[in-house]
């Protein structure tokens, strides 16, 4: 009933229905963004004397609250991959919102340690659902002309969620913040139930006529339109090509082919750079960092953390423009290099002491967050999609997201213990060291993928490999 009602309000060939569905499906990602940022204003509040809990929460509990999200995220990636293939994209996305609603509801129910950690663990389903389901849903409902723009909104919506919770966490009570955060997944569950399944999944389950109806509604065209039938046939051809793409079969083909495996190793390495540049730890513990860096600044630690949210949002907005103008490799390498310089300066500032130049930590952290949002976060995903064929892309994405979750869980678990026992300077120097090594690797080993076919990229990788082999042979000869 909804599809025919909406069609009255859109012109023939309009993209309004695609944009509407995309905006609604981004609500779970926004909710996940609020969950990531929630630790920053609420972690110090839970540990303070004015805690909403019965007694101040120990810092180890807060560390577990931060890291358990990504521990659960590792297996959840593959669970959601199974749900997406066997129960549909729409069901998987609504389960994502349901998990986020349970998380916020459990925090409202209790502030006991078991409840806080369990609630955070449930967010692991949210991160997997957001980054496994949402990009796939957007790809399958959108036209080529707006697919890139809609896809870029995924990271933007998460970052906007971070900023919103920084702001409301500063000015509203613990309970009020939770109620607002809870409302987002509840609204999504109520409204998104009326939205359609993707045409690709409907075709996969044999519902050809329903797929035709949904495709026509998404394109704001009549079911009998020739363009609708043409696109439907292309989807059927694509479905036939991917029927044999089982996970372990695809994984075996990735490992057995030297060029594909080389590309896979590069993808995992730049994932290490992306996740261990320290930006996610900064976003989780921003208020803690700024409280230790307090100087002559008028703004409170939470207000300074909100500045990071604004910078992150600006970085996300400029990312799509920069990645097309600068190219993938230069942007990734430059942002990694600038991050290493900023993190080195930040670690040195904490080592020397915070008596002077109170602007240094704010500037350094803003620079890191901007570089992360504008290059380090989005570019590895772009490179990954351009280095692998359609048959390999889904499997590689699942493995990379699971690997990233494992890295982040370790990073967030050790951040506070290292900061407490040794000082913030050491952990920022570690992050800087990762960025320096990664910068060298990016400029030396990562190919430029902009405007290149997979065959051209793999040929470039082969030349690099041969070049390194010749250098090693020359070194041995000299010895």
Residue 40 lies in a domain: yes
| Nearest to 421, CA basis, from 35, 110, 60 | 60
Q: How far is the C-alpha of 174 from the C-alpha of 193, rounded, in Å? A: 30
Residue 341's pLDDT is 95
Q: Do residues 390 and 305 share a domain?
A: yes
| Nearest to 154, CA basis, from 381, 376, 367 | 381
Q: Do residues 191 and 250 share a domain?
A: no
Residue 38's pLDDT is 93
Query: What number is the average pLDDT over the span 166-193?
Result: 94
Q: Do residues 31 and 172 share a domain?
A: yes
Q: Do residues 72 and 152 share a domain?
A: yes
Q: How many domains does the chain have?
A: 2
Residue 245's pLDDT is 59
Q: Do residues 26 and 169 share a domain?
A: yes
For residue 316, count other CB atoms closer than 10 A to its CB: 24
Whether 472 has a pLDDT exceeding 50, the answer reads no
Residue 251 lies in a domain: yes
Residue 244's pLDDT is 52
For residue 442, how far is the Cα from the chain centroid?
A: 20
Query: What number is the average pLDDT over the span 427-435?
Result: 94
Percentage of residues in the chain with pLDDT exceeding 90?
Answer: 31
Q: Find the CATH number of the domain harbouring 371.
A: 1.20.1250.20
Query: What number is the average pLDDT over the span 439-449?
Result: 91
CA of 426: how far to CAs of 4, 29, 166, 272, 420, in Å? 60, 32, 26, 19, 10
Q: Do residues 154 and 66 share a domain?
A: yes
Residue 297's pLDDT is 56
Last residue of a domain, one of 195, 229, 256: 195
Q: What is the DSSP string of 262-323?
A: HHHHHHHHHHHHHHSSSHHHHHHSHHHHHHHT-SS-SS-HHHHHHHHHHHHHHHHHHHHHHH
For residue 241, count other CB atoms closer than 10 A to its CB: 11
Q: Do residues 322 and 190 share a domain?
A: no
Q: Do residues 251 and 398 share a domain?
A: yes
Provide the token pair at 274: 């992306």
Residue 215 lies in a domain: no
- pLDDT higher for 179 or 325? 179
Q: What is the pLDDT of residues 98-148, one digit of tens each?
A: 999 999 999 999 999 999 999 999 998 888 888 888 888 888 888 877 776
Residue 291's pLDDT is 76
Q: Do residues 300 and 416 share a domain?
A: yes
Last residue of a domain, one of 135, 162, 195: 195
Q: Do residues 184 and 279 share a domain?
A: no
Q: What is the pLDDT of residues 339-393, one digit of tens each?
A: 999 999 999 998 887 566 778 888 888 999 899 888 888 888 788 878 887 678 7
Q: Do residues 277 and 170 share a domain?
A: no
Q: What is the DSSP string of 392-438?
A: HHHHHHHHHHHHHHHHHHHHHHHHHHHHHHT-HHHHHHHHHHHHHHH
Residue 299 lies in a domain: yes
Residue 475 lies in a domain: yes
Judging by beta carbons within 10 Å of its beta carbon (0-12, 13-18, 19+), is residue 240 exposed, middle or buried? Answer: exposed
Confidence of residue 326 (pLDDT cuts 50, 70, 90): confident
CA of 40: how far to CAs of 286, 302, 402, 415, 452, in Å? 6, 8, 24, 13, 41
Query: What number is the average pLDDT over the span 318-322?
Result: 76
Residue 217 lies in a domain: no
Q: What is the pLDDT of residues 50-77, one digit of tens each?
A: 899 989 998 889 889 988 999 999 999 8
Residue 187 lies in a domain: yes
Last residue of a domain, one of 174, 195, 216: 195
Cβ contacts of residue 82 below 8 Å, gap of 6+?
none
- The overall average pLDDT reported for the chain is 84
Query: What number is the average pLDDT over the span 161-177?
Result: 92
Residue 242's pLDDT is 62
* pTM of the model as a whole: 0.79
Q: Do residues 279 and 421 share a domain?
A: yes
Residue 146 lies in a domain: yes
Residue 469's pLDDT is 45
Q: Are 387 and 263 in contact (CB under 8 A)?
A: yes
Lowest-confidence segment of 1-10, 199-208, 316-325, 394-403 by average pLDDT: 1-10
Residue-number span of the structural domain to which 414 is assigned: 246-479
Provide the token pair at 57: 């929460």
């Amino acid at each position: 009933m909804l599809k025919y009602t909406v069609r009255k309000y859109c012109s023939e060939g309009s993209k309004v229905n695609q944009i509407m569905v995309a905006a609604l499906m981004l609500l779970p990602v926004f909710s996940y963004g609020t969950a990531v940022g929630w630790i920053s204003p609420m972690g110090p509040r839970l540990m303070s004397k004015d805690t909403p809990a019965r007694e101040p929460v120990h810092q180890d509990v807060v560390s577990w609250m931060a890291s358990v999200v990504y521990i659960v995220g590792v297996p959840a990636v593959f669970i959601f991959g199974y749900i997406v293939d066997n129960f549909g994209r729409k069901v998987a996305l609504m389960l994502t919102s349901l998990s986020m609603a349970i998380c916020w509801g459990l925090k409202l129910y209790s502030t006991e340690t078991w409840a806080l950690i369990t609630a955070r663990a449930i967010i692991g389903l949210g991160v997997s659902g957001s980054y496994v389901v949402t990009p796939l849903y957007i790809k399958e409902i959108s036209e080529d002309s707006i697919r890139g723009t809609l896809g870029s909104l995924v990271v933007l919506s998460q970052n906007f969620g971070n900023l919103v919770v920084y702001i409301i966490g500063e000015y509203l009570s613990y309970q009020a913040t939770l109620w607002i955060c809870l409302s987002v997944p509840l609204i999504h569950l109520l409204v998104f139930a009326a939205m359609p399944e993707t045409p690709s999944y409907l075709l996969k389950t044999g519902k050809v006529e329903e797929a035709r109806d949904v495709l026509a509604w998404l394109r704001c065209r009549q079911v009998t339109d020739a363009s609708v039938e043409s696109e439907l046939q292309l989807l059927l051809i694509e479905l036939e090509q991917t029927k044999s793409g089982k996970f372990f079969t695809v994984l075996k083909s990735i490992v057995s082919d030297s060029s594909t495996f080389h590309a896979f190793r590069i993808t995992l390495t730049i994932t290490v750079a992306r996740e261990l540049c320290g930006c996610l730890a900064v976003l989780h513990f921003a208020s803690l960092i700024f409280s230790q860096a307090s100087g002559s600044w008028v703004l409170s630690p939470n207000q300074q953390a909100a500045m990071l949210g604004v910078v992150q949002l600006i970085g996300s907005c400029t990312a799509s423009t920069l990645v097309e103008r600068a190219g993938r490799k230069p942007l990734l390498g430059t942002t990694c290099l600038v991050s290493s310089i900023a993190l080195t300066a930040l670690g040195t500032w904490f080592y020397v002491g915070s008596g002077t130049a109170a602007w240094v930590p704010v500037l350094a952290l803003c620079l890191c967050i901007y570089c992360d949002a504008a290059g380090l976060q989005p570019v590895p995903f772009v490179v990954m999609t351009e280095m692998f064929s359609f048959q390999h892309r889904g499997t590689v994405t699942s493995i990379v997201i699971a690997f990233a979750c494992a890295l982040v869980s370790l990073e967030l678990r050790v951040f506070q213990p290292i900061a407490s026992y040794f000082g913030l300077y050491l952990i920022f120097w570690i992050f800087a060291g990762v960025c320096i090594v990664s910068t060298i690797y990016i400029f030396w080993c990562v190919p430029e993928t902009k405007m290149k076919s997979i065959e051209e990229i793999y040929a470039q990788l082969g030349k690099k490999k041969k070049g390194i082999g010749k250098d090693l042979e020359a070194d041995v000869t000299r010895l």
